Amino acid sequence: MPRSRLLLAGFFLSAGIAHLTFLKKFFESIVPGWVPGGPAKVNTAAGVAEFAGGALVLVPGAERYARPYLIALLLGVFPANIQMAVAPDTMPGARGVPRALLWARLPLQVLPILWVRSALRSDDA
């Protein structure tokens, strides 16, 4: 298995674990108030989805499923990143972070999507 794919799997597995354990409160604090279900449920769902995506990356031949799944997941959490930039005072996890930094990271969100596309290339794509 290519190194990039192993690193990608590790990234999503780690992110899932972080959502469910040691960074749980932080991630709950950055769930926008308008998202249905409440911060705890949304964070748990995100953590499970990230962990599952990381595990899917490790399944030989599953690239054609893992690629759209992970891209959709990354796009799904993007509104929280926008909310952090637009209204950081409404999200305890964003308080104190310079606004310029919150805005500057928005275009960088394309990098994980490109990584997913690159690492999960396959001949049948």
DSSP the chain: --HHHHHHHHHHHHHHHHHHTTTHHHHHHTS-TTSTT-HHHHHHHHHHHHHHHHHHHTSTT-HHHHHHHHHHHHHHHHHHHHHHHH-GGG-GGGTTS-HHHHHHTTGGGHHHHHHHHHHT--TT-
Q: Each residue of 26-72: pLDDT tens digit?
A: 999 888 888 999 999 999 999 999 999 999 999 999 999 999 999 99
Per residue in 81-94, pLDDT (tens digit) is 998 999 998 888 88
pLDDT for 15? 97
Provide the whole-model pTM.
0.90
pLDDT at res. 95: 84
pLDDT at res. 124: 46
Confidence of residue 125 (pLDDT cuts 50, 70, 90): very low
